Structure 1
Amino acid sequence: MDGSFYARVGGQTAVTAAVDALYRVVLADERLSDYFQGLDLGRLKGHMVALLSQVLGGPAEYTGRDLRGAHLGLGVVPAHYDLVGAYLLGILAGLGADDDVLAAVRGVLRESAADVVE
């Protein structure tokens, strides 16, 4: 049996549900919604599903730009980055992700902050 975090959270179905929930929350938050104006949300969600899947030890199918290039010029501030991270962690916890999975995601969020925040 696959013991990856990806398998433990429920694989593709769970990751897709988490990303859908994340974008619902983020787009409804007036502090964050402006970052997404004019973007192809379907494409963005697809990239996020692939990236989160890969982060969790699932298939390595992410083909988007590197995080720094994708976020360059957006002016993401630390508080907004942290808020999106908190939303993601809450959604994963709500879907039944255990403490090990959440700790791993927290680690990736910490490591990735410098590539996203300006």
Structure 2
Amino acid sequence: MSIYDSIGGAPAVQAALEDFYARVLADPTLVSYFDGVDMRRLKAHQRSFLTAALGGAEIYAGRDMAAAHGRLAVTDEAFDAVVGHLVDTLTGLGVPAETITEIGAELTPLRQEIVTSPAVSPSA
């Protein structure tokens, strides 16, 4: 059974995306990354990506991660914050910790494609 099927398929992915983006857009350290973004379109792309990445039947036909995120100057801190919101979302939806770890293993390699900006130094 795929991760996609084990978490509940399309309804679970949709619920996760709604909760995840509510968390991300409420995070003052992340919200600026989404200025001017058509969230309905982004969620559709993300649904397609996650469905494919988690073993669902859909084939992801969107841009690769480097092309999609290159102009955003994403830092390691921002990437980690997004991952934290995803973990919190999945935990809140009752996804078992072992499955969350499996999902993390699928998504972790994307860091090298998404993070393009050095860490932000704290002000002195």
Give the AA of the match of 2:49: L
Aligned equivalents of 1:99, 1:58: Cα separation in 2: 20
Report what 2:33 is aligned to.
35
List aligned pairs for 1:37-116, cutoff 5 A. Answer: 37-116=35-114
Give 1:107 shift. Answer: 1.2
- RMSD between aligned residues: 1.1
Aligned equivalents of 1:32, 1:115: Cα separation in 2: 18
Pick from 20, 23, 26: which aligns with 1:25? Answer: 23
Report what 1:9 is aligned to.
7
Gaps of 5+ in 2: 117-124
Aligned equivalents of 2:106, 2:114: Cα separation in 1: 12
Deviates more, 1:79-88 or 1:95-104: 95-104
CA contact (8 A) 1:89 1:105 kept: no
Q: Deviations over 1:27-46 (max 9, x none)?
A: 11110000000111101000
Aligned equivalents of 1:44, 1:93: Cα separation in 2: 23
Aligned equivalents of 1:99, 1:29: Cα separation in 2: 23
Give 1:50 shift. Answer: 1.0
Q: Which has the larger radius of gyration?
A: 2
Gaps of 5+ in 1: none
Aligned equivalents of 1:80, 1:61: Cα separation in 2: 27
Aligned equivalents of 1:112, 1:37: Cα separation in 2: 22
Paired residues, number:
116
Give the AA of the match of 1:87: H
Normalising by structure 2, what TM-score?
Answer: 0.88
For the structure 1 residues 84 and 95, does the alpha-carbon distance in structure 2 shift closer, same or farther, using more than 3 Å as the test?
Answer: same
Give the AA of the match of 1:64: G
Give 1:94 shift. Answer: 1.7
Give the AA of the match of 2:85: Y
Normalising by structure 1, what TM-score?
Answer: 0.92
